[in-house]
């Protein structure tokens, strides 16, 4: 129930009109004394203030200014006599929602209150949308300073404005959906819908109905006509996640849609034109799936116009700490907790951890750390036990070298070792050269020879 405060020195007016307003479903309070009214506004929240322009102690416009100084968002409706129209105009210039001329007709008063109510509802929705946009923006952020991420960011920048089909490949948790979001919201289709379908989550018959839609009575349970995702995505983007798990018979139907740009709903015969940009993602090697006869080669070439590859987190160690710090800040802000920092030993453990769940695992860990934090520095012992054990386990670090010959293993170790020390020294080559006991120019030559990520170097 919306709350209304009426301020007027005419007590009989207040008595009559407050009853009428309350009878229309609103909670109403009245004040004839300016000081009492201001004190009440300071203590309690009112959705609407109805204020007379002509007051004995202070001009109504001056009072409006005081109210707006305290709360710029306060909605104020002004009442004025026929002889004080200039004051009403001045009120509007100082932020009043509207004004009414006394004697106010009941219907006009209630109509203006209802309009104000709709305005407040719309404003509340806008606040919610801004919050959702903030959350969405967080889920559209590509954080990282590694060479792989720099390349990916540049590719996204070039590809997004086009209408080209994109195939995103990479391990689970590497941010394929984030890339799809970025491609859509930075394209000319940004004002259209972004429709997402997880091809691995639904059985073949259900997935077909979800994609194509169905007519009423097409099958048992089809009690009404339903639009499919192809139709819903018209004018926007269709994101098919885990395309490698799409049932084989359905792949040929998808191929036809991409070629003809038209569909027929399940159980229907009417041809419907569709127009969407296609973005697909998979954690499978589709070339291997083609060899196994699990994926159509012609569909692969159709969707793989522009390939994007997301690199596993373990292969871009320079991104681990920036990502962790970013998500720690996000969750600290979300939970209204003080921001935390990472100790050097904690950074070392996190950098050496394998991150099999990639960014998704890192994000979950950041949330967990903030839940149990009190704004203090996160030290090594505060990290999950399995992270500390795995990161510090020599055997786990050796597994990466087991299948290599001696020369390859030596080069890989040197690359890992130099990158690690460079990262700990914030990319300072002079400090790194001194720490590992080599000349600066020799270290620079080694960095070039081993193709060490330039993001670790300064």
- From the number of C-beta atoms within 10 Å of its C-beta (0-12, 13-18, 19+), residue 49 rates as buried
d(CA 117, CA 238) in angstroms, rounded, equals: 37
Residue ranges with strand state E in 220-337: 226-227, 237-241, 262-263, 272-273, 277-282, 306-309
Same structural domain for residues 160 and 47? no
Dist CA 311 CA 169 (whole Å): 9
Give CA–CA dist 397/70, Å, rounded: 61
Name the domain count of the chain. 4
| pLDDT tens digits along 72-119 | 889 999 988 765 677 777 888 888 888 888 888 889 899 999 999 888
Are residues 387 and 328 located together in one domain of the fold? yes
Last-in-domain residue among 287, 311, 335: 311
Residue 415: per-residue pLDDT:
84
Within 13 Å and on the Cβ side, how many CA atoms surround 287?
3
- State how far the Cα of 428 lies from the Cα of 422, in Å rounded to an integer: 6
| Arithmetic mean of pLDDT, 3-29 | 92
Q: Does 304 have pLDDT greater than 90?
A: yes
pLDDT computed for residue 82 by the predictor: 64
pLDDT band at 139 (very low <50, low <70, confident <90, very high): low
> From CA 232, how far away is CA 229, in angstroms rounded?
5
Are residue 103 and residue 157 in the same domain, yes or no?
no
Q: What 3-state class would DSSP assign to 419? A: helix
pTM of the predicted model as reported, rounded to 2 decimal places:
0.59
Q: Which domain holds residue 246?
A: 147-311
3-state secondary structure of 231: helix
Cα–Cα distance between 1 and 261 in angstroms, integer?
A: 50
Q: How far apart are CA 114 and CA 48, in angstroms?
A: 11
pLDDT score for 127? 64
Residue 395 pLDDT grade (very low, low, confident, very high; cuts 50, 70, 90) = very low
Which residues on adjacent β-strands are paired with residue 266?
A: 214
Residue 281 shares a structural domain with residue 410: no
Q: Where residue 94 sits, what CATH number does that domain have?
A: 3.40.50.2300
Supply the DSSP string of 34-99, one letter for each residue: HHHHHHHHHHS--SEEEEES--SSS-HHHHHHHHHHH-TT-EEEEEE-GGGHHHHHHHHHTT-SEE
- 3-class DSSP assignment, residue 146: coil
Question: Confidence band (pLDDT; 50, 70, 90) for 298?
Answer: very high
For residue 312 the two structure tokens come to: 């596993």
Q: Do 159 and 300 belong to one domain?
A: yes
Residue with tokens 């004190």: 39
- Mean pLDDT across 305-328: 92
Q: Same domain for 106 and 213?
A: no
């Amino acid at each position: 129930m919306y709350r209304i405060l009426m301020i007027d020195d005419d007590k009989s007016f207040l008595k009559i009109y407050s009853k009428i307003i309350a009878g229309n479903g609103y909670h109403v309070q009245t004040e004839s004394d300016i000081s009492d009214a201001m004190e009440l506004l300071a203590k309690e929240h009112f959705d609407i203030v109805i204020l007379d322009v002509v007051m004995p102690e202070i001009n109504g416009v001056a009072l409006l200014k005081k109210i707006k100084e305290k709360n710029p968002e306060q909605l104020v409706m002004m009442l004025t006599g026929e002889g004080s129209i200039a004051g009403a105009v001045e009120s509007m210039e100082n932020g009043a929602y509207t004004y009414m001329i006394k004697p106010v007709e009941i219907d006009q008063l209630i109509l203006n209150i209802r309009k104000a109510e709709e305005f407040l509802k719309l404003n509340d929705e806008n606040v919610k949308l801004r919050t959702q946009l903030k959350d969405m923006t967080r889920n559209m952020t590509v954080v990282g300073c590694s060479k792989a991420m720099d390349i990916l960011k540049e590719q996204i920048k070039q590809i997004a404005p086009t209408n080209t089909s994109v195939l995103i490949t990479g391990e689970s948790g590497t941010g394929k959906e984030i890339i799809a979001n970025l491609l859509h919201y930075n394209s000319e289709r940004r004002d259209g819908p972004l429709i997402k379908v997880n091809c691995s989550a639904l059985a073949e018959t259900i997935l077909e109905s979800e994609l194509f839609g169905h007519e009423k009575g097409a099958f048992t349970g089809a009690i009404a006509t339903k639009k499919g995702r192809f139709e819903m995505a018209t004018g926007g983007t269709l994101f098919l996640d885990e395309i490698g798990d799409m049932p084989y018979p359905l792949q040929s139907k998808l191929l036809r849609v991409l070629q003809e740009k038209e569909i027929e709903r399940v159980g229907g015969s009417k041809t419907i034109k569709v127009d969407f940009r296609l973005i697909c993602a998979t954690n499978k090697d589709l070339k291997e799936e083609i060899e196994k006869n699990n994926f159509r080669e012609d569909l692969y070439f159709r969707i793989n116009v522009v390939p994007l590859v997301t690199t596993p987190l373990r292969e871009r160690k320079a991104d681990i700490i920036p990502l962790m710090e970013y998500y720690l800040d996000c969750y600290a802000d979300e939970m209204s907790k003080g921001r935390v920092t990472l100790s050097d030993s904690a950074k070392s453990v996190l950098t050496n951890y394998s991150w099999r769940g990639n960014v998704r695992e890192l994000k979950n860990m950041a949330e967990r750390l903030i839940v149990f934090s009190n704004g203090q520095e996160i030290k090594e012992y505060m990290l999950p036990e399995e992270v500390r054990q795995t990161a510090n386990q020599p055997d786990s670090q050796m597994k990466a070298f087991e299948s290599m010959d001696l020369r390859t293993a030596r080069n890989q170790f040197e690359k890992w070792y130099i990158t690690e020390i460079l990262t700990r020294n914030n990319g300072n080559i002079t400090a790194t050269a001194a720490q590992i006991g080599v000349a600066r120019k020799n270290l620079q030559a080694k960095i070039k020879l081993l193709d060490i990520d330039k993001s670790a170097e300064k």
